[in-house]
Structure formats: structure tokens, C-alpha cells
Structure 1
Amino acid sequence: MTTTPPRRRVTDIVAKLPEATCTGDRHLCLAVRGKTFGYFLDDHHGDGIVGVALKAAAGEQEALVRSDPQRYYVPAYLGHRGWVGMRLDVGEIDWSEVRELLTDAYRLQAPRRLVAQLEG
């Protein structure tokens, strides 16, 4: 049985979000109408981590990192803004959770009309 690489799984999830884009080479910028809601990172500045850094609601970063510090982390450059990192290179990945976090981050940046399409 073959598994889909994390980068491809992330791009597949983002492709289902209205007007969301993934741009970049090794690292991907996840955006909607020019507003970034996340990044797919592969060994960013040599940190050895494959994961996603996502915009998060107030208090979510702290709660997630506290709940599972092996999986969640405070990402460089964005952590001070409340963004949360989720490792995709340790243990079993819960792709429904990844989808939920990506969708939540998207909701924080997307126009209401696009967010309404998710519920519709």
C-alpha cells in the first residue's frame, strides 16, 4: 500500500476550499484572495520539520501546543502572531484534523461570501 506524501495531501485539501491557492516550490503559501492563511513547510531554514503553519483563532495556539507538544509547535516568525505549527512528520497523521485546522485558518482570512460556500 502506498501513502500520499503530506505535501500532496495538503494541496488536495486546499484545492477544495473556494478560491484558495497553493503557490511556491519547496514551501507552499496557502492563500485566499491574496490573504495568507497557512504555509506548507519542508525543512524551513534547516529546522528538519515537515508541517504546516496556520493562522489560528485567539488562544488556539497555546491550547494545541499544550495538548500535544510533539505534534504542535510555535512556528518561527509567525508564532508571535498566534499562528500554530502542526508537524506532519511524526507519528500517525489525523488527516481529518489537518483538514479541520486548514479550513479554520481559511475561514479566518476568506471573505464571508466564500466562507458561506463551505456551509452551503
Structure 2
Amino acid sequence: MRGAEAIDRVREIALLLPESEERESHGQPTFFVAGKQFAQLRVDHHGDGLTVVCVRTADTDEQAMLLEAAPDTYRKPAYLGTSGWVSIDLGGEVDWALVEDRIARSWELSAPAGLLEAGGR
């Protein structure tokens, strides 16, 4: 999948989530809920040649588990990786159900309790 198509697909997934918004952050399309970042698209970030979406994990233990279980899918992203985030490769064959689930889970980890209690996603 080309970068522009992946960006459009991620944008569609992220903006369907309640009260999500897109803003540019560090030159990249980034998605927020209640002012907290939950996903960031990166295309050729610092010349790495990759198209990825970065998402939150519950903690560094979950991050480590994902990196070990599926190293062809997940990577530790620059800057965000130290906070337990992972990136999902959007090049080649993409499991869009997985991408959608991880973006939604990241949104849940970022959304305020009141929004989750009101029904969330």
C-alpha cells in the first residue's frame, strides 16, 4: 500500500473514534483525544523509508511482548518507544483489522475516564 493510501486509511479509522481530532505534531499527522495523543502517522521518518502508525501500549511489558511476538509487524519507534509505544508497519500486506484494533486500544488508553464511562467506542 502506498503512503498516501495508508494515511487515508489510518485517518479514517482514527477519526471515527469519539472526540478524536487530527493535528500536525513534529511534522506528522497526529491524532488526539481530550488533548492526549493516541496515534501518529510517520512516512519516511528521518529517512527510514517506512510508513508506520505509532500507538500506545498499556505499559513497557505489553510493548516488549508485542515486539517479541511479532517483530515483522511491530517496532519500537524513535522518541515514543521509551514511553511504551509501538509502531505498526503499513508497508506490504497490512492486517487492517489489527491496525484498527490497536488504534482503538490506544485511544482507550488516552481517553478520559468520563468518555469511556459514557460508552467510549
Q: TM-score, normalised by structure 2?
A: 0.86
Letter in structure 1 aligned against 2:113: R
**1:40 and 2:41 are equivalent in the alignment:** yes
- Give CA deviations for 1:39-85 in whole Å, capped at 9, x if unaligned: 01111111111011111112221111111212110000111111111
Paired residues, what number? 115
Q: What's the counterpart of residue 27 of structure 1?
A: 28
Structure 2: gaps spanning 5 or more residues: none
Aligned-residue offset at 1:24: 2.5
**1:83 and 2:78 are equivalent in the alignment:** no
- Give CA deviations for 1:2-32 in whole Å, capped at 9, x if unaligned: xx81111111111110110122296211111
Q: What's the counterpart of residue 65 of structure 1?
A: 67
* Distance of 1:112 and 1:9 partners within structure 2: 27
Secondary structure of the equivalent of 1:5? helix
Letter in structure 1 aligned against 2:13: I
Letter in structure 2 aligned against 1:55: R
Q: What's the counterpart of residue 94 of structure 1?
A: 95
Q: TM-score, normalised by structure 1?
A: 0.87
Q: Following superposition, which runs of at least 4 residues in structure 1 exceed 3 angstroms of deviation?
A: none
Letter in structure 2 aligned against 1:34: G
* Distance of 1:51 and 1:21 partners within structure 2: 19
Secondary structure of the equivalent of 2:120? helix
* Distance of 1:49 and 1:39 partners within structure 2: 13
What percentage of aligned pairs have identical amino acids? 35
Structure 1: gaps spanning 5 or more residues: none
RMSD (CA atoms): 1.7
Letter in structure 1 aligned against 2:84: G
